[in-house]
Amino acid sequence: MSVLQDFRNNVKPNWCPGCGDYAVLAALQQAAVKLGLEPHQLAVVCGIGCSGRLSGYVYAYGMHTTHGRALPFAQGLKLANPELNVIACGGDGDGMAIGLGHTYHAIRRNVNLTYILMDNHVYGLTKGQTSPRSDWGFKTKTTPTGNIETPVATLEMALSAGASFVAQGFSTQLQELTDLIVAAVKHPGFSLVNVFSPCVTFNKVNTYDWFKERLVGIDSIEDYDRYDKGKVLQHILEHEGLLTGLLYEDRKKRSYEEVSGLANNNQMQSVRKFTKAEFNKLVEDFR
């Protein structure tokens, strides 16, 4: 049985003190323990940005890929190695700007993996530019007179892509976040966990307090039905996306692996030469 210590690797994150990502890291590690995983059964695939460094801070197989492309890598990895638990991570620049297309298509495709998106509404590592999740009017070095592009509506986007699992968390709500990640990994399909993870250095608007004042847990909403897409969308619109919890789940949607047949027949790990009979049969096609 693994314990929390097993997933810590003694590498000091280069995140600023107070960064929301520390909580995400802790939640991921706690979730791994709760799921009963051994470190070698977990692969963390990240993109580029502060949040992308996470793969270097967990003791597990880690891969730090290219900007916006963690999801294609993670999907390829999971399909090739179905026994592995694959968690993809990144920030809102990685997943909602350059990687937006891949995010959308990954949701559509529904390969069985978990995507933790650390949403701080800003680009941190490049020192404070507007992100596609920044509020209207947000002022930065590249938008000195205020952002004039509508923020990407992550949750609505995910639902429109046919997401089968949509959750949202907040860095100060560690227990809830841990449980959401556990549920996400257990879910047999693509699981999106968007986490409000404030950037203390470059986002002085969407701070911890700002989120605390506005976020509403779905447990406090009467008759919240996470299986009714229309109603869920309504709640999202009413609360401007500022909800936390397991927002939506489709228990009927089958994973890519199931629909494609890979769940029943996946021989990608056994690299072998054809038998003479197999080879001759394939050669026959060209006679």
Partner 1 sequence: MQRNEITWQAGGQQGEGLESLGAILASVLSRQGYYLYGFRQFSSRIKGGHTNYKIRIATQPVGTLNKQCDLLLALDQDTLVNEALAVGENGIILAEKAIADFYTGKGKLLAVPFNDIAKQYGTILQKNIVALGCTAAIFGLGEDCCAVQLQKEFGKKGEEAVAANLRVFKAGMEFVKTEAPELLAEKQLPALISNEPKLFLLGNEALAFGALSAGARFMAAYPITPASEVMEYMVKKVKELGGQMLQAEDEIAACTMAIGASYGGARAFTATSGPGLSLMAEAIGLAAMTETPLVIIHSQRGGPSTGLPTKHEQSDLFAAIYNTHGDTAKIVLSPSTIEEAFCDTFEAFNLAEEYQCPVIVLSDLQLSLATQTMPVPEYEELVIRRGKIAHSESLAAIKTPEYFARYSLAADDGISTRVLPGTPNGICLGTGLEHDESGRPSEAKLMRRQQTEKRLKKMQTFLAHYKKALFVDAPYEEADILLIGMTATRSCLAETAEVLRQEGKKVNHVQIRLLAPFPANEIMPYLQKSKKIVVVEHNATAQLAHLLRMQVEGCPHLESILQYDGDIMYPEELLVRCKEVL
Binding site for partner 1 (CB under 8 A): 5-11, 38-41, 43, 45, 53, 55-56, 59-66, 69, 72-81, 83-84, 101-102, 105, 260-262, 265-274, 276, 279, 282-283, 285-287
Q: Minimum Å distance from CB 80 to partner 1?
A: 4
8 Å CB contact between 65 and 77 = no
| Shorter beta-carbon distance to partner 1: residue 150 or 270 | 270
Q: Minimum Å distance from CB 89 to partner 1?
A: 13
Q: Which residues contact 180 (CB under 8 A, 6 or more apart)?
A: 167, 168, 169, 193, 245, 246
Q: Minimum Å distance from CB 195 to partner 1?
A: 22
Q: Minimum Å distance from CB 131 to partner 1?
A: 20
8 Å CB contact between 38 and 10 = no
| Shorter beta-carbon distance to partner 1: residue 145 or 265 | 265
Q: Minimum Å distance from CB 22 to partner 1?
A: 18
Does an H or E element contain 212, and which? helix 208-214
For the CA atoms of 161, 77, 255, 259, what is the dihedral angle to 10 degrees?
Answer: 110
- Of 87, 36, 38, nearest to 59 by C-alpha is 38
Q: Minimum Å distance from CB 73 to partner 1?
A: 4
Q: Minimum Å distance from CB 38 to partner 1?
A: 7
Q: Which residues of 222-251 are buried (b: 16+ CB within 10 A; e: fewer)?
A: eebebeebeebbebbeeeebbbbbbbbbbe
| Shorter beta-carbon distance to partner 1: residue 63 or 233 | 63
For the CA atoms of 265, 76, 91, 112, what is the dihedral angle to 10 degrees?
Answer: 0
| Shorter beta-carbon distance to partner 1: residue 24 or 70 | 70
| Shorter beta-carbon distance to partner 1: residue 11 or 237 | 11
8 Å CB contact between 211 and 228 = no
Q: Minimum Å distance from CB 76 to partner 1?
A: 3
In the chain the first and final C-alpha atoms are separated, in Å, by 57
| Shorter beta-carbon distance to partner 1: residue 43 or 215 | 43
| Shorter beta-carbon distance to partner 1: residue 33 or 242 | 33
| Shorter beta-carbon distance to partner 1: residue 136 or 274 | 274
Question: In a 3-state reduction of DSSP, which class is residue 124?
Answer: coil
Q: Report d(CA 189, CA 257) in Å as an integer.
A: 9
The letter for the amino acid at 118 is: M
Taking each helix axis from N to C end, the angle separating 70-80 and 100-109, rounded to the nearest 10 degrees, works out to 30
- Of 136, 164, 139, 138, nearest to 240 by C-alpha is 136
